[in-house]
């Protein structure tokens, strides 16, 4: 089944490379970079809705500090609360920002003032008395005598961290929110994963193998796909069209098929999907319907995705059609078989992949050379165990992601 191999190099691999949320970090990661913005005047409950539960809550006088890990620098990020409102924050994490907003003098409901869900007494944060205007300066008491203990203003000073000028520039510069696709390396070569493209996103690519199974002829295929629906709130639908007649045959699209995949993201680390490859075909392809179901999980091995070996994405699924064993295919047995893959993020733009597609073992590497250009290049070898072929074959593919709808349409 030489052309089937090409379909998965072009479709499954490229779908995985542009999908959410796996490593590349090794992410099938999110195509949208997340930015957390805290505004002055927010309540603690609103802060928790954006940043999550704080790792600790500190109270100093009339101020309450909500501490959060920043994952980038020594110390923690923190949000400062006074009178149940945000009055300031310190963020070292580059994806968090605090913005000024008009003062809100209204009194929020008590439930909005809880700085932590684990607060033992479920008590709101301390509300200080509004500051009273200072009395006119006077050197004497009303009776004419000098005061025994003249009042003094005491200001608490926090030492500023000793940072290079470049780090201060990064902290003080507002970054434009990222709304374009980011490049992440793939986590599968031949098997589908549970992540797919979302509404308004798409991908296109080309795959090449030095020779097809049991021949000395090279071959190639092209694929283009788009996403529909919402994988985070409901379900996403990925539609991919593959042309097998590229290097050989009567020209592009003379032989090809349409494949469908329904996928659902569960948080940032889990995904489930079900689909059918070659649900529509033309030109006499050499394989038929290939239904499948698959689950993918991303194991976070480090808090910072920029660190080496920070994530591992693993997929496990069952399917019929091309996922059957070679013997079942030859004997035309309508059975199902197990497939799976694993992609390890070696460094942020590079992953190493091992993939068992139900018939044979694939291994290779995936590279996203330019982070803000969603281009992914993959290379490796097929049929390493010779279970369903006549020896290892070199394979290479490249794909790029794009938007076919601007963000405000969805």
CA 356 – CA 358 distance, rounded (Å): 6
> What is the per-residue pLDDT for 168?
66
| Global pTM exceeds 0.75 | no
Range from 153-162, 168-177, 266-275, 363-372 carrying the lowest mean pLDDT: 153-162
pLDDT digits (tens, 9 = 90+) for 6-43: 333 444 444 443 333 333 333 333 334 457 888 888 99
Averaged pLDDT, 335-360: 95
Averaged pLDDT, 270-293: 92
> What is the per-residue pLDDT for 2?
41
Range from 33-37, 314-318, 333-337 carrying the lowest mean pLDDT: 33-37
Closest Cα partner for 98 from 167, 169, 41, 32? 41
Instruction: Centre a 10 Å sphere on the Cβ of residue 232 and count the other Cβ atoms it contains.
Output: 16
Q: Which residue has the higher pLDDT, 143 or 366?
A: 366
pLDDT digits (tens, 9 = 90+) for 41-50: 899 999 998 9
CA 222 – CA 3 distance, rounded (Å): 11
Query: Residue 239 pLDDT more than 80?
Result: yes
CA 398 – CA 204 distance, rounded (Å): 9
Query: Residue 390 pLDDT more than 60?
Result: yes
Q: Judging by beta carbons within 10 Å of its beta carbon (0-12, 13-18, 19+), is residue 73 exposed, middle or buried?
A: middle
Averaged pLDDT, 298-323: 92
Q: Is residue 393 within 8 Å of 384, Cβ to Cβ?
A: no
Averaged pLDDT, 115-133: 54
Closest Cα partner for 95 from 159, 41, 28, 25? 25
Inter-CA distances, 211 with 7, 219, 274, 335, 382, Å? 15, 7, 31, 28, 10
Query: Residue 72 pLDDT more than 80?
Result: no
> What is the per-residue pLDDT for 285?
83
- Could you tell me the pLDDT band of residue 384, with boundaries at 50, 70 and 90? very high
> What is the per-residue pLDDT for 371?
78
pLDDT digits (tens, 9 = 90+) for 146-183: 444 444 434 444 556 667 777 666 666 554 444 455 67
Q: Is residue 344 within 8 Å of 350, Cβ to Cβ?
A: no
Range from 11-20, 235-244, 259-268, 283-292 carrying the lowest mean pLDDT: 11-20
> What is the per-residue pLDDT for 140?
42
Averaged pLDDT, 306-323: 94
CA 33 – CA 404 distance, rounded (Å): 19
Structure tokens at 64: 């309450």
Query: Residue 381 pLDDT more than 70?
Result: yes
Averaged pLDDT, 314-325: 96
- In the chain the first and final C-alpha atoms are separated, in Å, by 39
Range from 117-121, 302-306, 341-345 carrying the lowest mean pLDDT: 117-121
> What is the per-residue pLDDT for 406?
77
Helix (DSSP H) and strand (DSSP E) numbers for the chain: 5, 18
> What is the per-residue pLDDT for 248?
74
pLDDT digits (tens, 9 = 90+) for 130-139: 445 454 444 4
């Amino acid at each position: 089944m030489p052309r089937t191999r090409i379909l998965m190099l072009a479709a499954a691999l490229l779908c995985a490379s542009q999908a959410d949320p796996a490593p590349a970090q090794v992410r099938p990661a999110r195509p949208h970079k997340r930015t957390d913005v805290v505004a002055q005047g927010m309540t603690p409950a609103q802060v928790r809705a954006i940043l999550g539960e704080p790792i600790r809550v500190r109270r100093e006088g009339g101020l309450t500090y909500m501490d959060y890990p920043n994952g980038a620098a020594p110390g923690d990020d923190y949000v400062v609360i006074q009178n149940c409102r945000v009055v300031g924050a310190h963020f070292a994490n580059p994806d968090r920002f605090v913005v000024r907003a008009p003062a809100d003098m209204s009194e929020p409901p008590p439930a909005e003032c809880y700085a932590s869900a684990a607060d033992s007494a479920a008590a709101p944060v301390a509300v200080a008395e509004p500051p009273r205007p200072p009395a006119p300066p006077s050197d004497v008491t009303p009776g004419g005598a000098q005061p025994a203990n003249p009042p003094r203003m005491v200001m608490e000073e926090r030492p500023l961290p000793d940072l290079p000028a470049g780090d201060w520039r990064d902290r003080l510069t507002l970054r434009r929110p990222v709304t374009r696709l980011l490049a992440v390396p793939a986590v599968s070569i031949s098997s589908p994963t549970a992540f797919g493209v979302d509404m308004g996103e798409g991908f296109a690519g080309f795959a090449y193998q030095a020779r097809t199974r049991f021949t000395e002829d090279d071959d190639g295929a092209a694929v283009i796909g788009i996403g529909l629906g919402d994988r985070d709130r409901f379900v996403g639908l990925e539609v991919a069209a593959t042309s097998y007649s590229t290097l050989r045959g009567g020209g592009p699209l003379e032989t090809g098929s349409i494949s469908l995949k329904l996928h659902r993201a569960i948080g940032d680390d889990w995904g489930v999907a079900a689909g059918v490859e070659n649900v529509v075909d033309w030109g006499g392809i050499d394989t038929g319907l290939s239904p499948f179901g698959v689950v993918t999980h991303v194991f976070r091995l480090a808090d910072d995705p920029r660190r080496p070996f920070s994530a591992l994405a693993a997929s496990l699924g069952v399917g019929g059609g091309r996922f059957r064993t070679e013997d079942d295919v030859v004997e035309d047995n309508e059975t199902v078989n197990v497939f799976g893959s694993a992609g390890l993020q070696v460094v942020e733009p590079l992953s190493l992949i091992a993939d068992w597609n139900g018939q044979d073992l694939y291994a290779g590497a995936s590279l996203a050379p330019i982070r803000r250009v969603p281009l992914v290049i993959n290379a490796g070898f097929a049929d390493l165990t010779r279970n369903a072929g006549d020896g290892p074959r070199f394979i290479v593919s490249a794909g790029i992601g794009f938007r076919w709808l601007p963000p405000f349409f969805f």
